[in-house]
């Protein structure tokens, strides 16, 4: 999966993500994490908890000032798309920051529907909203993972 994935219309992006998650048998997803088959509902993912744990790299796991998302800073926001998946048992939520025309939008996906939850002329506005939503989910027991660089490969 390449960066072109993020430019698909939101409903199609969700369908592609669900299809990728259901491949499991021969595919590899998100930085070498194996994906197991899922249940029939498109918004439910059945996989182990280890692959979705937040990174424990010190700074950035829970930014208080909204200036840092894991390893993504405001300076690299326009060069690196931000797309996260949060999971609580078999329920999935998605978070995305989309940049365009010098501004940005924060998207939140729930029950297969993506909504724009914020718009800003500065990236820090979107990063702040993104960080707040992510912090709220993680404090409620959700496991979130950066899937911006997710890719599919097949074992031969």
Give tens-digit pLDDT for 11-61.
555 555 544 444 433 333 333 333 333 332 223 333 333 334 333 333 343
Flag whether pLDDT at 68 surpasses 70.
no
Q: What is the dihedral of CA 7, 13, 17, 18, to 10 degrees?
A: -170
Flag whether pLDDT at 132 surpasses 70.
yes
Comparing 31-35, 102-106, 125-129, the range with the smallest average pLDDT is 31-35
Flag whether pLDDT at 122 surpasses 60.
yes
Q: Is 154 helix (H, G, I), strand (E, B) or coil?
A: strand
**SS3 annotation, 88-148:** ECCEEEEEEEEEECCEEEEEEEECCEEEEEEEECCHHHHHHHHHHHHHHHHHCCCEEEECC
List the chain domain ranges: 3-149
Q: What is the pLDDT of residue 26?
A: 37
Q: Quick one: tokens of 43?
A: 């918004």
Q: What is the dihedral of CA 10, 16, 17, 22, to 10 degrees?
A: 150
């Amino acid at each position: 999966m390449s960066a072109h994935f993020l430019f698909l219309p939101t409903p199609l992006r969700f369908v592609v993500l669900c299809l990728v998650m259901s491949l499991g048998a021969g595919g590899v997803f998100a930085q070498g994490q194996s994906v197991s088959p899922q249940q029939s509902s498109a918004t439910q993912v059945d996989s182990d908890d280890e692959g979705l744990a937040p990174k424990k790299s010190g700074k950035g796991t829970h930014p208080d000032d909204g200036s840092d998302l894991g390893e993504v800073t405001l300076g690299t926001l326009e060069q690196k798309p931000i797309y996260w998946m949060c999971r609580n048992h078999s329920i999935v939520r998605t978070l995305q920051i989309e940049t365009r025309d010098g501004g940005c939008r924060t998207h939140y996906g729930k029950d297969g529907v993506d909504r724009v939850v914020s718009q800003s002329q500065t990236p820090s506005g979107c990063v702040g909203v993104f960080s707040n939503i992510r912090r709220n989910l993680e404090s409620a027991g959700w496991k979130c993972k950066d899937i911006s660089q997710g890719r599919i490969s097949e074992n031969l």
